[in-house]
């Protein structure tokens, strides 16, 4: 039931664009919509699938049960198909011509028809040979030539019709076919595991072991979810320029761009009010690059004369799993008189030459106006006091997002999550000044099966907490640690936290404190390291997540303009190089179609209500300002 609930949660996650401005007359922010992904499930129905797995089910029945659970939980709009091989021709244990051509697309890749596909899965019989290479070649025809294309292959054995299927797939992928292949070995031996690992590597995917029905269901659910919901970027599309003079002008907001590996720097120009602090980040989840071992991204910000204001370099190494999100981020202070603190800025981005081809990036610009009466605000924390979340209530299944823009809003209490090797999941929770939060991991979740790991095999988990500008906290010396390994002997606890948010935390150099200086959505990412194909830890694990928020909103700074959180979500970013709306149309708010606007009609009532709401809102805002000032004076 936990897996089914988690799948349902995944299916209902909505991909949201950048938040809209509170002004009804403002232009709307456009969203960089990805081409809908296509997922082809491929199932081994060879004779060996008649054998039993450790749970007591035959392998074919365990696979059918896992597939049915996945299908039940997928959204109706999912583009999913199913191909089986070895299901119709009994070669009597010999790779005959007919047996090696035995592969069928039993459900086309189209908007999901759950009743039909479920019924089709029920009728699958295990019978013949294992023509993996031929089936994968046919799968390319199934998937077509456009959009993100994913294959999830489940097999319990090696190819039986050609010596090795891997060269066939390598030839296809090196020819430029845009395809990802993830493979799941269901109770396989070393030779079959090596073949399936090679297929996954050639297809820029991952290989996972499944020793029983439960592990198979977990792997299929997460792989299906990940294929249908890739790393998402949202914001106004923009293209960085090859020179600083021609760079598009970015105001506070969120943007999307694409960067190829290597090459010269590409530029943006940033407008900001004198004295305001600018926070900028560039986020990217690098595609799996095959043999590439290093991915880099560098962000530099200078003044108009080219003097360096701030810079950051982020990188990922292949052994650590390149699926982890990279973030290059800078803060340019506005408290001073030099050009970096008063004038417009120039940002340049360089992606390392070793990366995989074009990757989408998300560019965030936050502008923080000056604050009056800073000395009346609470002083910076001397050091961050680690807090953990208690184990209270009943844990509810949840599925994290693939990045910042589709991070799942997580509530206080307890949750369960299934985590695959090489996966990084994102969650967010809103914090105001005066509040702090904890994100505590129990691996594995209490009450779930504990897998047996051999030798030095272990599952390594890493939690990172980020502020609204995507600046990470440094929890390297905190206890409990934010990075822990489960080796199969007993549960482990990992923990990340956000210290109390105070405006003046920025005054210190403590990387566990300084980022907690602005209100807004704080993020927690839960990552798991990649495992070797033959590692007994290369299996899905169910973990428990505990979340706590402590403190009441207080000591809000008096900004001389919109708060940084509001400025980043402003729809002013809709036009990076012009003040016109994206469509070029008039952006003045129109009256609703069903509201009469003539003097004798009934349209006065809705407008009167709106006017009353506006008055009440203004009154509430005035009261809030008085309360904030009173709290500020009380803290002096």
Identify the CATH homologous superfamily for domain 35-228.
von Willebrand factor, type A domain (3.40.50.410)
Provide the pLDDT for residue 622.
Answer: 40
- Which phi and psi angles does 421 have, rounded to 5°? -60, 140
Give 254's strand partners.
364
Specify whether the CB–CB gap between 98 and 91 falls below 8 A: yes
| pLDDT tens string 287-323 | 665 555 678 899 999 999 999 999 999 987 755 454 5
Give 349's strand partners.
266, 299
Span 236-370: which CATH code? Answer: 2.60.120.380
CA angle 254, 256, 258 (to 5 degrees): 155
Nearest-Å Rg of the Cα atoms of the chain is 27
List, edge to edge, every strand of the sheet that includes 359-368: 236-237, 253-259, 359-368, 277-284, 326-332
Pairing of strands 436-443, 492-498: antiparallel
| pLDDT tens string 5-50 | 332 333 333 222 223 222 222 233 333 344 457 899 999 999 999 9
The conformation of residue 228, written as its DSSP 8-state character, comes to H
Domain ranges across the chain? 35-228, 236-370, 375-559, 600-636
Tokens of 531: 């495992």
User: What DSSP string runs through 377-414?
Assistant: SPPPPSS---------S--EE---BSSSTTPEE--SEE
- Which phi and psi angles does 466 have, rounded to 5°? -130, 145
Give the residue carrying structure tokens 């050609």: 162
Span 375-559: which CATH code? Answer: 2.60.120.380
User: What are the average pLDDT values for consecutive 10-residue runs of the chain, which has 636 residues?
Assistant: 31 29 30 61 96 90 92 81 95 92 94 90 94 93 84 94 87 72 93 93 88 90 77 90 96 94 92 92 78 81 95 77 80 87 94 80 95 94 91 92 92 94 93 97 92 91 96 86 92 96 90 93 94 90 97 94 72 37 30 32 34 38 36 35
Specify whether the CB–CB gap between 570 and 253 falls below 8 A: yes
Specify whether the CB–CB gap between 283 and 364 falls below 8 A: yes
Q: Which among 508, 200, 561 is positioned nearest to 368, based on CA atoms?
A: 561
Specify whether the CB–CB gap between 228 and 246 falls below 8 A: no
User: What DSSP string runs through 272-318?
Assistant: --TT-EEEEEEEE-PPP-TT--EEEEEEEEEETT--EEEEEEEEEEG
Number of H helices, E strands in the chain: 10, 28
Give the residue carrying structure tokens 């997002």: 401
Provide the pLDDT for residue 484.
Answer: 94
- Which phi and psi angles does 121 have, rounded to 5°? -60, -40
Provide the pLDDT for residue 177.
Answer: 66
Phi-psi label, residue 321: left if phi above 0, alpha if psi -120 to 50, beta otherwise: left
What is the distance between the terminal CA atoms of the chain, rounded to a whole angstrom? Answer: 54
Q: Is 79 helix (H, G, I), strand (E, B) or coil?
A: strand
Check for a shared fold between 236-370 and 375-559.
yes
Provide the pLDDT for residue 568.
Answer: 64
Tokens of 262: 């290597």
Q: How far is CA 356 from CA 116, 350, 352, 573, 636, in A?
A: 39, 14, 10, 29, 54
Q: Which among 193, 215, 206 is positioned nearest to 541, based on CA atoms?
A: 215
Mean pLDDT of the chain: 81
User: What DSSP string runs through 537-554?
Assistant: T-S-EEEEEEEEEES---
CB-CB neighbours of 483 under 10 Å = 16
| pLDDT tens string 605-632 | 333 333 333 333 433 434 333 333 333 3
């Amino acid at each position: 039931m936990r897996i089914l609930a988690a799948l349902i949660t995944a299916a209902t996650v909505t991909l949201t664009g950048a938040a809209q401005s509170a002004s009804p007359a403002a232009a709307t922010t456009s969203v960089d919509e990805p081409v809908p992904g296509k997922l082809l499930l491929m199932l081994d129905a060879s004779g060996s699938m008649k054998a039993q797995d450790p749970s007591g089910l035959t392998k074919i029945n365990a696979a059918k049960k896992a597939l049915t659970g996945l299908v039940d939980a997928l959204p109706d709009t999912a583009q999913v198909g199913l191909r089986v091989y070895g299901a119709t021709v009994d070669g009597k244990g010999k790779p005959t011509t007919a047996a090696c051509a035995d592969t069928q697309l039993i459900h086309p890749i189209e908007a999901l028809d759950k009743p039909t596909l479920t019924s089709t899965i029920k009728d699958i019989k295990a019978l013949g040979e294992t023509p993996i290479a031929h089936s994968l070649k046919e799968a390319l025809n199934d998937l077509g030539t456009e959009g993100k294309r994913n294959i999830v292959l489940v097999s319990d054995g090696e190819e039986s019709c050609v010596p090795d299927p891997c060269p066939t797939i390598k030839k296809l992928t090196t020819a430029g076919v845009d395809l990802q292949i993830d493979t799941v070995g269901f109770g396989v031996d070393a030779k079959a595991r090596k073949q399936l690992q090679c297929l996954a590597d050639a297809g820029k995917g991952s290989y996972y072991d499944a020793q029983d029905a439960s592990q198979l269901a977990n792997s299929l659910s997460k792989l299906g979810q990940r294929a249908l919901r890739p790393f998402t970027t949202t914001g106004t599309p923009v293209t960085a320029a090859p020179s600083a003079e021609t760079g598009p002008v970015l105001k506070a907001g969120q943007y999307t761009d694409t960067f190829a590996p290597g090459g010269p720097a590409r530029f943006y120009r940033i407008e900001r009010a004198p004295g305001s602090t600018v926070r900028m980040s560039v986020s990217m989840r690098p595609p799996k690059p095959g043999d590439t071992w290093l991915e880099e991204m560098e962000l530099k910000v200078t003044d108009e004369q080219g003097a360096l204001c701030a810079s950051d370099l982020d990188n990922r190494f292949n052994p650590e799993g390149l699926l982890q999100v990279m973030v290059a981020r800078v803060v340019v202070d506005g408290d001073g008189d030099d050009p970096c603190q008063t004038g417009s800025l120039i940002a340049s981005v360089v992606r390392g030459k070793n990366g995989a081809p074009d990757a989408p990036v998300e560019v965030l610009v936050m502008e923080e106006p000056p604050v009056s009466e800073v000395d009346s605000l609470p002083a910076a924390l001397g050091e961050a006091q680690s807090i953990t979340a208690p184990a209270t209530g009943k844990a509810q299944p949840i599925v994290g997002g693939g990045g910042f823009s589709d991070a799942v809003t997580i509530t206080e209490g307890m949750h369960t999550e299934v985590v695959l090797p090489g996966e990084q999941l994102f969650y967010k929770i809103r914090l105001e000044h005066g509040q702090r939060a904890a994100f505590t991991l129990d691996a594995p979740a209490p009450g779930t099966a504990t897998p047996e790991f051999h030798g030095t095999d272990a599952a390594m988990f890493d939690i990172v907490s980020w502020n609204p500008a995507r600046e990470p906290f440094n929890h390297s010396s905190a206890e409990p640690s934010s990075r822990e390994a489960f080796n199969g002997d007993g549960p482990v606890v990992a923990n990340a936290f956000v210290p109390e948010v105070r405006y003046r935390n920025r005054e210190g150099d403590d990387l566990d404190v300084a980022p907690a200086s602005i209100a807004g959505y704080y993020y927690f990412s839960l990552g798991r390291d990649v495992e070797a194909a033959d590692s007994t830890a290369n299996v899905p694990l169910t973990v428990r997540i505990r979340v706590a928020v402590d403190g009441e909103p207080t000591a809000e700074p008096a900004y001389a303009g919109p708060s940084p959180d509001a400025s980043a979500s402003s729809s002013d970013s809709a036009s990076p190089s012009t003040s016109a709306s994206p469509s070029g149309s008039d952006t003045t708010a129109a009256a609703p179609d069903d509201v009469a606007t003539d003097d004798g009609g009934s349209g006065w009532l809705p407008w009167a209500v709106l006017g009353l709401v506006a008055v009440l809102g203004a009154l509430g805002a005035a009261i809030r300002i008085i309360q904030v000032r009173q709290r500020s004076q009380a803290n002096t």
